[in-house]
Structure 1
Amino acid sequence: MFTESVVLGEVLKQALEATGLRQVEHKAELGGTRVLFDGLAAGELDAYVEYTGTLREEIFSGEDVATDRMLADALAERGILMSAPLGFNNPYAIAVLRETAQRLNLERVSDLREHPELRVGLSNEFLQRGDGWPALRAAYRLPQRAVEGMDHNLAYLRLRAGEVDLIDAYATDAELSRDDMVVLEDDLAHFPRYDSVVLFREATADAEPRLAAAIDSLVGKISTQRMAAMNAEVKFDGKTEAEVAAEFLADELGVSRSTPLPKQTVAAAIARRTWQHLGLVLGSLLPAITVAIPLGIVAAKSPAIGQVILAAVGIVQTIPSLALLALLMTAAIRLEIKTLGEWSPAALGALFLYSLLPIVRNTAAGFSGIAPQLRESAEALGLSPAYRLRRIELPLAAPMILAGVKTAAVMNIGFAALGALIGAGGYGQPIMTGIRLNNIGIILQGAIPAAVLAIVVQLGFELAEKRLVAPALRQAA
């Protein structure tokens, strides 16, 4: 997820609209290569811009796709077509501050061998890629051991703050146009070419011929300098990706829009994201309540089974949220279930699983805390198990159960922000965009409403407790 991908998505969208297509949706900031490629292969996306080096190192790693023709043939086997290059090559690079380069006389990547003390800050993806840090370190015999992973959008901030000494970069990064940065020469030619191309579904191209025509109109039109300039216009000049794309199409293709670019007020955007966020929270919390309360009751009434239930939901809670989201996306793709877009089943599934532990645990605790003499009295009166559960045990356990549901709801409001990585919408979208553009104002458009929503939900549960739980039980709880 970086500015260039959003700009290129807008260029492609507006090029398609210029052919007369009107139902064109740009799903921006969906995450990494695998998310996009799997979405394309599954038919959830029709086209996106990719890089040949990424395809070779990530998607077809270990396969013989040395030439673009071989790469295109491998893609065609999956029902995916590849355009000719758009014009610019965007390989990885290693960057340092100019002051560091001058002080240590750094010009080439091989010069880093003499400075094992340098602290390395790398994007998380670069740490794992086939052409990333492990391969680079082996090729150049680099001695650095202080290596830290981070989001690429934060790397330049940490570099300038003096927290790291060198980072990985993209050749068209807007930040590299500034005078305080130096790109070290890849003197061993380690990084392959990363020619930008458009991948698109063969089935979509057959159904809509204008797709291939619009893509062909972009071939060879975007130079490395123009791409870097467009990135800088968004990053530093405050232009939107849509505005920059429109200017490019007007300059290079003579395409002018017949209608103005759509504008949306901050209030309207927050209202739309609130609806999306509530959909994620409620769509996961309500099923979790339905499942977790019965599990909690079973856990309380059967201690042996209860240990297994609590251990299972506890283990789920320890899985990192991004890892759980990735696992569920993989499962959904195999089952041919939609994974991208608003209210994604993968996002809802992850939030559902995270909701289970607090509700199950509190339900079990609430039932276990019921005084034994109350149960004995109910049994002595000959009340049926169903009646005892409905009229005695559930009311007595209600304060604890509500507390568990409240905890799950507030947690979900925070976790739901990660849904933005797969286009699920919500408050995570402006947060991701703000991080990408280093814009605190945009980040706050997601962070503040999320905090307000959490407070409102907490107050709502407190009001619900007053209405649903007897005063004596509230005091006891």
Structure 2
Amino acid sequence: MCLPHRRILRAALLLFAITWLGAAASAQPGEGTLRVGSKRFTESYILAELLAQTAAPHTASPPVVRQGLGNTAIVYEALRSGAIDLYAEYTGTIALEILKGSPADTREAMNAALAPLGLGVAIPLGFNDGYALAVRAADAERLGLRTLSDLAKHPELKLGLSNEFLGRADGWKGLAARYGFTQTPTGLDHGLAYEAVAAKQIDAIDIYTTDAKIDHLGLRVLEDDKKYFPRYDAVVLYRLDLPARLPKAWAALQALEGRLDEHAMIAMNARAELQSVPFDAIARDFLAGTGKGARAEAREPRRGFAAKLFGPDLWQLARQHLVLVAVSVGVAILIGVPLAILVFPHVRLRALVLGFASLLQTVPSLALLAVLISMLGAIGALPALIALTLYSLLPIMRNTVTGLAEVPNGLRLAGTALGMTPPQNLRLVLLPLALPTLLAGVRTATAIAIGTATIAAFIGAGGFGERIVTGLALNDRELLLAGALPAAALALLSEGIFELIELAMRRRRGTPPSSLPLA
């Protein structure tokens, strides 16, 4: 490797390290900040806000709420790694999913099993939110469905179950074995399952017993007659260092013990799912003593699409989305272009590097984010930026190599004949001629990053994906569109900017606009 190439690579790696260090510093809150997490369903969003607002008057800085982090595996990994300090969990999930079937049936036993992990259980909130299966009431009457054993006798009925329930230790596999189910269920998002059963696309779904849409859609909850499901009492799962680190906030959180019952939780879920009331407003009303019941929420005005689209979080989400895209594509350019230049003369090495970059593109984004959380011990911007950078490398590297390969051999030799050194030939001849193709790769990488950045909301990295994730949890189409439309507008804006850049380059070279072939 020649000296100029080494300098290019060294500079790129230095900029890469500086960028990540800055991102890591900005992504991690201060030591005195309470960090609250939530899973990706309505009740967990509300409970996260309830915990944060209860502690807020007793912390030096406002608590950071990491909403919608995904399923149990992701939010638990965030807690274990120290990326969050606590979140609302359920005793059945702790015993069977986190402790993997440990016979920890009391809080004391759970704390003894969790202590070696640096975790603990405290503050029982006062309600049980169990798993159950539900069917349409009309089907229950017609087929005589009262229990899960009755459901197992009708293999013709279609089951649509949440993906987490399908994979949980206390989920479908054990339930099917206990009751003898022979159906092959369809995996669905929890929020979308309600719409699917209402539209008669499926016949039975898994539900949480405090879901507001059970009564709203007229569903019949089937009795667990063989007692498969344990109790799922809501508690706080926390890091053991939290009480010593934030003693006043921890003392304030103790006041929530036993304060919530099933009716209060159902009413709060209804306000979110049926009236689109923001989660923070629901928590604020409850803490202020004005927790509204079902009758009160029925009279509340529903937020319209315009209010969701142009909500106060629009510019904050836009800024977060832009930063994720700009930094990840920028770092991908700093890494991908020098690396492509270095491997270009070596055919086998080039094929190996491009093949590895292509392999990265095949890794599902959520799986990659989960792996990065485990490796880095962090959630938020840092793992999201790394994932987006990895996805951006292939189009940039491939187009750089393609652009260099397209330079006519005569022009390469002309530069050498004029006495140019290889670095000069690269800088003055090859790269300028390859620039249009390279820029097309950056354009593609930017489009990929804008779309993929919406997935970053699953790990608390912000951006327009926050609205999409929340809309999925609430089955709120308007909120989904309020996140998807700005992301699409950003993609169109980026296309317009690249089109202007290419137009300026063509004018500078004095070449006519290229015509695009018709599909």
Normalized against structure 1, the TM-score is what? 0.91
Equivalent residue number for residue 198 of structure 1: 236
Equivalent residue number for residue 260 of structure 1: none
Counting only pairs closer than 5 Å after superposition, residues 320-331 of structure 1 correspond to structure 2 as 320-331=364-375
Find 2:192's aligned residue among 141, 154, 168. 154
Tell me if 1:214 matches 2:252. Answer: yes
> CA 1:376 to 1:126, structure 2 compared with 1: closer, same or farther past 3 Å?
same
Q: Over aligned residue pairs, what C-alpha RMSD do you find?
A: 2.2
Equivalent residue number for residue 30 of structure 2: none
Q: Is the 8 A contact 1:396 1:473 kept in 2?
A: no
SS of alignment partner, residue 77 of structure 1: helix
SS of alignment partner, residue 172 of structure 1: coil
Find 1:439's aligned residue among 476, 492, 501. 476
- Identity across aligned pairs (percent)? 41
Give the counterpart letter for 2:467 in structure 1.
P
Q: Is the 8 A contact 1:430 1:445 kept in 2?
A: yes
Could you give the per-residue CA deviations for residues 126-165 of structure 1, whole angstroms, max 9, x where no partner exists? 11000111111111111112x2111111110111112111
1:39 positional shift: 2.1
> CA 1:264 to 1:462, structure 2 compared with 1: closer, same or farther past 3 Å?
closer
Counting only pairs closer than 5 Å after superposition, residues 110-149 of structure 1 correspond to structure 2 as 110-145=149-184, 147-149=185-187
Q: Tell me, in whole angstroms, the C-alpha distance in 2 between the residues paired with 1:48 and 1:8.
A: 8
Q: Tell me, in whole angstroms, the C-alpha distance in 1 between the residues paired with 2:206 and 2:313.
A: 34
1:252 positional shift: 8.8
1:67 positional shift: 2.9
Q: Tell me, in whole angstroms, the C-alpha distance in 1 between the residues paired with 2:469 and 2:439.
A: 32
1:449 positional shift: 1.3
> CA 1:385 to 1:372, structure 2 compared with 1: closer, same or farther past 3 Å?
same
Give the counterpart letter for 2:373 in structure 1.
M
Tell me if 1:74 matches 2:118. Answer: no
> Which region of structure 1 is more displaced relative to structure 2, 50-59 or 460-469?
460-469
Equivalent residue number for residue 311 of structure 1: 355
Could you give the per-residue CA deviations for residues 216-262 of structure 1, whole angstroms, max 9, x where no partner exists? 21111211121111101211133222232233223399xxxxxxxxx
After TM superposition, which residue ranges in structure 1, 4 or more long, deviate above 4 angstroms? 18-22, 473-477
SS of alignment partner, residue 399 of structure 2: helix
Q: Is the 8 A contact 1:109 1:140 kept in 2?
A: yes
Q: Tell me, in whole angstroms, the C-alpha distance in 2 between the residues paired with 1:250 and 1:176.
A: 27
Find 2:319's aligned residue among 237, 252, 275. 275
Find 1:104's aligned residue among 136, 143, 158. 143
Equivalent residue number for residue 257 of structure 1: none
Equivalent residue number for residue 258 of structure 1: none
Equivalent residue number for residue 403 of structure 1: 440
> CA 1:456 to 1:188, structure 2 compared with 1: closer, same or farther past 3 Å?
same
Q: Is the 8 A contact 2:59 2:246 kept in 1?
A: no
Tell me if 1:416 matches 2:453. Answer: yes
SS of alignment partner, residue 419 of structure 2: coil
Could you give the per-residue CA deviations for residues 272-312 of structure 1, whole angstroms, max 9, x where no partner exists? 11110011001111110111112323443221111111110
Q: Tell me, in whole angstroms, the C-alpha distance in 2 between the residues paired with 1:389 and 1:422.
A: 41
> CA 1:471 to 1:98, structure 2 compared with 1: closer, same or farther past 3 Å?
farther
Tell me if 1:369 matches 2:413. Answer: no
Find 1:292's aligned residue among 319, 328, 336. 336
Give the counterpart letter for 2:62 in structure 1.
Q
Tell me if 1:463 matches 2:500. Answer: yes
Q: Tell me, in whole angstroms, the C-alpha distance in 2 between the residues paired with 1:429 and 1:176.
A: 25
1:320 positional shift: 1.0
Q: Is the 8 A contact 2:308 2:479 kept in 1?
A: no
Equivalent residue number for residue 283 of structure 2: 245
SS of alignment partner, residue 65 of structure 2: coil
Could you give the per-residue CA deviations for residues 176-235 of structure 1, whole angstroms, max 9, x where no partner exists? 122520111111110111110012233221132223322221111211121111101211
Tell me if 1:178 matches 2:216. Answer: yes
Q: Is the 8 A contact 2:56 2:249 kept in 1?
A: no
Q: Tell me, in whole angstroms, the C-alpha distance in 2 between the residues paired with 1:117 and 1:293.
A: 56
1:42 positional shift: 2.5
Gaps spanning 5+ residues in structure 2: where?
Answer: 1-39, 292-306
Tell me if 1:381 matches 2:425. Answer: no
Normalized against structure 2, the TM-score is what? 0.84
SS of alignment partner, residue 26 of structure 1: strand
Tell me if 1:426 matches 2:470. Answer: no
> CA 1:296 to 1:18, structure 2 compared with 1: closer, same or farther past 3 Å?
closer
Q: Is the 8 A contact 1:406 1:458 kept in 2?
A: yes
Q: Is the 8 A contact 1:399 1:474 kept in 2?
A: no
SS of alignment partner, residue 251 of structure 1: coil
1:20 positional shift: 7.2
Q: Tell me, in whole angstroms, the C-alpha distance in 2 between the residues paired with 1:208 and 1:264.
A: 35
Could you give the per-residue CA deviations for residues 320-374 of structure 1, whole angstroms, max 9, x where no partner exists? 11111111111112xxxx323xxx1110111001001111111111111111222
Could you give the per-residue CA deviations for residues 21-41 of structure 1, whole angstroms, max 9, x where no partner exists? 662232222222222222223
Find 1:36's aligned residue among 51, 75, 78. 75
Find 2:207's aligned residue among 142, 162, 169. 169
> CA 1:179 to 1:419, structure 2 compared with 1: closer, same or farther past 3 Å?
closer
Could you give the per-residue CA deviations for residues 370-400 of structure 1, whole angstroms, max 9, x where no partner exists? 1122212222333211011001110111111
1:267 positional shift: 5.4
Give the counterpart letter for 1:251 in structure 2.
G
Equivalent residue number for residue 56 of structure 1: 95
1:264 positional shift: 11
SS of alignment partner, residue 193 of structure 1: coil
Q: Tell me, in whole angstroms, the C-alpha distance in 1 between the residues paired with 2:136 and 2:250.
A: 42
> CA 1:456 to 1:207, structure 2 compared with 1: closer, same or farther past 3 Å?
same
Number of matched pairs? 460
1:266 positional shift: 3.0
> CA 1:267 to 1:181, structure 2 compared with 1: closer, same or farther past 3 Å?
closer
